[in-house]
Amino acid sequence: MNVHERQQFDFFFNTAVERFVERIEQRCGGPVPALTRLRLDPNSDGVWVDEFVSALFTDFLLDNAAGAAFVLGSLARRPLPAADAAMLHGQARTIGDWMQLTARRGFATILSTKAEEALEQRLAFQVVD
C-alpha cells in the first residue's frame, strides 16, 4: 500500500472511531453502558456497528468495488475468520458484493476493537466528582 493511501485510510479509520464512540456513548447513556453493550453484542440496541459501517461507507463513497478494494488493501494482513468467510460467501452474488461484504465485516471488527479501547481510555481518564 502506498504511503498516501495508508494516510487516507488512517484518517478514515480514526474519524470512524471518534464518530462511533461518540454515538454509542450518547445512545447508551455513557461510556460504561456503551462499553458493556459493545462487548456483549456489537449490533445490540444503541450500538448497531453493522448499520454504522454501512452508513459510513456510503458517506465516504466506499460503497462500491473500488472502495472495498481500498479498505481490503488496508486490512490485507488481518485474518478472516472461517465463519465470516462462509457467511459472506452465501450472501454475495458477485465478486464485487463479496468484496464489499468482506470489507464491511473486516472494518466493523477493527472498529469495534478500537472503540472498546477508546471507551476504556475515557473511563480511565474520566473526572469523577
**Cell numbers describing residue 74:** 488496508
Predicted TM-score (pTM) of the model is 0.85
Q: Could you give the C-alpha distances from 74 to 2, 6, 8, 68, 113, in angstroms and in order?
A: 10, 7, 10, 10, 16
Domain extent listing, the chain: 3-120
Each of the 129 residues of the chain gets a pLDDT tens digit; together they read: 789 999 999 999 999 999 999 999 999 999 999 999 999 999 999 999 999 999 999 999 999 999 999 999 999 998 876 556 556 666 777 888 888 988 999 999 999 999 999 999 988 887 554
Which three-class secondary structure state does DSSP give residue 38?
helix
